[in-house]
Amino acid sequence: MSTVAPPVPAPPRRRKSTKLKRRQTRLAWFLLVPSLAVVAFVALYPLGKTIFQSFTDEEFLALNPVSWIGLENYKDLWNDTIFRDSIWTTLKFTVITVSFEFVLGLVIALIVNSSFKGRGVMRAVMLVPWAIPTVVAAQMWKSMLQSNGVISDAGVRLGILAQPHAWIADPSTALAAVCAVDIWKTTPFVALLLLAGLQVIPNDLYEASEVDGANPLQQFWKITLPLLWPAIFVTLIFRTLDALRVFDVFYVFFGNRLGTQSMAIYAQSTIVSDGYVGYGAAISMAIFLVIALFVVIYLSFQRVVTR
Amino acid sequence: MSTASEAAEPVVRPVSRSRVFWHSPLGRNVKRVPFYLLVIIVFVYALFPFAWALRCAFTPEGDLFSSPLQYIPSNPTLDNFKSAFQAEFFRKALLNSALVAGGVTLLSLAIGSLAAFALGRFRFRGRSLVMYLMLSMTMFPSIAILGALYTMISGFGIGFIEFPKIYDTLWALLFTYLIFTLPFTIWVLTSFMEALPGDLEEAAYVDGATPFQVFYKVLLPLLLPGLVTTGLLAFIAAWNEYLFALSFIQDPDKYTVPIAITSFVGESGSAFQQPWGTIMAATIIITVPLVALVLVFQRFILAGLTAGAVKG
């Protein structure tokens, strides 16, 4: 859901007497108190607590007192092959889904941006997969991906598959199966974001370039893509961050099945099923670092591109 | 459009036959065929899973995976819908989700609109700091604080403030869902606030209105579209949330919809024998109101989703 952009410029500074200004500042902070209190209480305090917990051996509902164990959790994590696998799985998932969603989303956005009959209907249709819960989408696809489900059946009938296939149970197709759900659910949403970006590109540019004899391909590379870049960037960064913390689809499809855990699945099962709050906190911090790393990569990439 | 060609001398060029064809009405439509084919593919791709869920919901449980697969149920039935509604936890989940999502939405709008008033209408020191804080909160991975929240809702104290145990209650969800609804609400409402014209407000100040009167008599009514948009998005996000609900709720009476939809068990009671007919019926029951909501408020939702996204 979070599709917000870097902050918009502040409203223009108005000339005010300093006394009024001071009063306004006080009022503004006063209005912000409830929000800041909530954010501090539900996000910042827990974040600090998680950092602290990651250096302890805290267990949920354990009788022995919590003790400080320093970097022990992180050392264990470094040698934890399950966690390493989960990072790898999540990275593969992220790369596959984000690239498919971006390319397909761009194609769909370009289609919807040209005027044709049924454009309004199409835009409404695109919102539907976005609106339904991921868990519901996952359940729909899970039934379709059974070995005796419709995808196997249609594949055999069309001669694409030799025999029915258990997409989710077979480890070699499991990742493709989760990716299919995510791509289906999220591509329309990516398309809508890119479409919004397309619609602010002034039409004159295309007309002028047509006069200059540019072909559609040149128009796409020289006009559409550069002007769409801000929307593309925001879309990609938000999709990537979302994909890195994927939980719902993996849980519905595999539960805690080994070899098909995302990072979030491993953290959740460590904390909730096993009750190892301290070790789970260390995993959470590692996830946090991976996500932060991606933000840094994206931001430096953005700086290179816009230069 | 083509002023340049009007000014130029008309040039007579030999015109190829294919060119004549592609510019004729028939040819122009033929040229559109691949385009419409693509449109149809997108439609089918987006809607097929729903169509299939509908098919499963109306197919008797025994015929669901019969071989060869029936693409259209030969003896359609409403039994699946009946058994979905017979499951008490599912009926309760609909109510629970409505309570939690509605509650957290109203709370976010109430607190968030005050913050948006401050951030959107005043300039003060620290404003951009708060904006960046809220932005980073909207990207905050909730998994990162799952453990801390897990211990917090089991009861804890900061100094003299004793926090009650709310594990396995709807309060736990109401409390934790604010993490993703509130910063988002503030962010989007602020962009709506900034878009409002300043004249009205200044006129009210000149007439001696207090800032609070300005807020709820002048700005709030103008902000109504923004409130609807943000409220819808927050509601949908809270309604769809899975991770916290799964981790903090155990009692089937307090399941939310996403938990309930994964909790149906077949008559054998085995987790491996999923009653797909019932599950798909439940899926349809959940999806229909959401789809209606989306279609009715399409414009509002699009405005909210793209708020800021195109400004770069």
Quick one: A98 exposed, middle or buried, by C-beta within 10 A (0-12, 13-18, 19+)? Answer: buried
Find the angle CA(B185)-CA(B187)-CA(B188) to the nearest 5 degrees: 70
Q: Measured between CB atoms, which of A6, A150, A207 is closest to B69?
A: A150
Contact A143 B182 (CB under 8 A): no
Q: Mean pLDDT for chain B?
A: 85
Any chain B CB within 8 A of the CB of A72? no
As a CATH number, domain A54-306 is 1.10.3720.10
**Nearest chain B residue to A262, by CA:** B143
A192-225 as b/e, with b when 16 or more CB fall inside 10 Å?
A: bbbbbbbeebeeeeeeebeeeebeeeeeeeebbe
**Tens of pLDDT along A136-177?**
999 999 999 988 889 998 999 898 888 888 999 999 999 999
Model confidence at A6: pLDDT above 80: no
- Residue A190's Cβ-side half-sphere holds a number of Cα atoms within 13 Å equal to 28
CA-CA distance, B134 to B141, in Å (whole number)? Answer: 13
Whether residue B168 is found in the same domain as residue B299: yes
B250/B206 same-domain check = yes
The residue assigned the tokens 């036959």 is: B17
Is B35 at the interface with chain A, CB within 8 A?
A: yes
Tell me: pLDDT of A7 over 90.
Answer: no
Q: How confident is the model at residue B279 (pLDDT cuts 50, 70, 90)?
A: very high
Q: Is the pLDDT of residue B176 over 90?
A: yes
Residue A68 in 3-state DSSP?
strand
B294:A127 CB<8 A: yes
The distance of Cα B210 from the centroid of its chain, to the nearest Å, equals 36
Judge if B187 and B216 occupy the same domain.
Answer: yes
Other CB atoms within a 10 A radius of the CB of residue B234 amount to 28
CA dist A61 and A275 (Å) reads: 8
Structure confidence by residue, pLDDT tens digits, A39-57? 999 999 999 999 999 999 9
Cβ pair B302:A192 closer than 8 A: yes
Decide if pLDDT at B310 tops 70.
Answer: no
Span B13-34, pLDDT tens digits: 666 677 777 777 777 777 788 8
Q: How far apart are CA B187 and CA B134, in angstroms?
A: 7
Would you call A171 an interface residue with chain B, using a CB distance cutoff of 8 Å? no
- Of B25, B47, B77, the residue that ends a domain is B77
Q: Does any domain span residue B6?
A: no
Number of domains in chain B: 2
| Residues paired with B157 in a beta bridge | B162
A271 touches A73 (CB < 8 A): no
Q: What distance in Å separates the CA atoms of residue A293 and residue A152, rounded to the nearest whole number?
A: 39
Specify the 3-state DSSP secondary structure of A307.
Answer: coil
Question: Does B119 lie at the interface with A, CB-CB under 8 angstroms?
Answer: yes
Task: Please tell me whether residues B250 and B104 are part of one structural domain.
Answer: yes
Compute CA distances A220 → A68, A231, B307, whole Å.
Answer: 58, 15, 25
- B100 and B150 belong to one structural domain: yes
Instruction: Examine the pLDDT at A4 and tell me if it is beyond 60.
Output: no
Mean pLDDT of A191-200: 88
N- to C-terminal Cα separation, chain A: 30
Residue in B closest to A272 by C-alpha: B247
- Give the CA angle between residues B86, A143, B69 to the nearest 5°: 105
Residues B145-160 have a mean pLDDT of: 82
Does residue B7 lie within any of the structural domains?
Answer: no
Cα gap A262→A286, rounded to integer Å: 13
Packed helices B127-138 and A18-39: angle between N→C axes, nearest 10 degrees? 20
Length of chain A: 307
Of B55, B77, B99, which residue sits at a domain end? B77
Q: Does B70 touch chain A (CB under 8 A)?
A: no
Q: Measured between beta carbons, which residues in chain B are less than 8 angstroms from residue A61?
A: 154
Which residue of chain A is at minimal alpha-carbon distance from B47? A125
> What tokens does B258 get?
């996403």
A176 touches chain B (CB under 8 A): no
**Cβ neighbours of residue B51 under 8 Å, at least 6 residues apart?**
none
Q: How big, in percent rounded to 5, are the helix, strand and coil portions of chain B?
A: 70, 0, 30
Query: Once rounded to an integer, what is the mean pLDDT over residues B289-309?
Result: 78
Residues in chain B: 312
Residue closest to B110 by CA, chosen among B245, B234, B201: B234
- Section B258-272 average pLDDT: 78
B127: chain A residues, CB-CB within 8 Å: 10, 28
Residue of chain B minimizing CA distance to A133:
B240
| Residue given tokens 């799964």 in the structure block | B246
> Within this chain, do residues B94 and B33 fall inside the same structural domain, yes or no?
no
* Cα B103–chain centre separation: 16
For chain A, what is the mean pLDDT?
89
> What residue numbers bound the domain in which B159 lies?
81-305
CB contact under 8 A, B258 and A135: yes
Share of chain A above pLDDT 90, in %: 58
Rg (CA), chain B: 27
Q: Partners of A68 in the beta sheet? A: A56
> Hey, is B161 helix, strand or coil?
strand
Radius of gyration of chain A (CA): 24
DSSP letters spanning A249-267: HHHHHHTT-TTS--HHHHH
Question: Which of residues B58, B77, B96 is at a domain's end?
Answer: B77
Classify burial at A155, counting beta carbons within 10 Å of its beta carbon; exposed 0-12, middle 13-18, buried 19 or more: middle
Q: Is it the case that residue B300 has pLDDT exceeding 70?
A: yes
Answer yes or no: do B96 and B27 share one domain.
no
Angle value at C-alpha B146, between B141 and B149, nearest 5 degrees: 120
Beta bridge partners of B161: B158
Whether the predicted pLDDT of B271 surpasses 70:
no
Average pLDDT over residues A175-193: 93
| Domain presence at residue B310 | no
Neighboring chain B residues of A27 at a CB cutoff of 8 Å: 118, 122, 211
In whole angstroms, give the CA distance from residue B84 to residue A256: 26
> CA of A230, closest CA in chain B: separation in Å?
5
Residues B226 and B299 in one domain: yes
Beta-strand runs (E) in chain B: 156-158, 161-163
Domain co-membership, B32 together with B171: no
Top residue of A103, A128, A136 to mutate, by most chain B CBs within 10 Å, is: A136
Confidence of residue B97 (pLDDT cuts 50, 70, 90): very high
Residue B204 sits at the chain A interface (C-beta within 8 Å): no
- DSSP code per residue over B263-307: ----TT--TTS--HHHHHHHHHHHHHHHHHHHHHTHHHHHHHHTT
Complex ipTM, two decimals?
Answer: 0.87
Q: How many CB atoms lie within 10 A of CB B245?
A: 27
Q: Is A8 close to B146, i.e. CB distance below 8 A?
A: no
* CB atoms A133 and B261 under 8 Å: yes
pLDDT value for A37: 94
Q: Would you call A128 and B130 a contact, using CB atoms and an 8 Å cutoff?
A: no
- Mean pLDDT is highest, among A273-277, B97-101, B189-193, B292-296, for B97-101
* A129/B120 Cβ within 8 A: no
Same domain, B105 and B236: yes
What value does the mean pLDDT take over residues A121-126?
Answer: 83
Residue B85 contacts by C-beta under 8 Å, 6 or more apart in sequence? Answer: B91, B285
DSSP state of A56: B
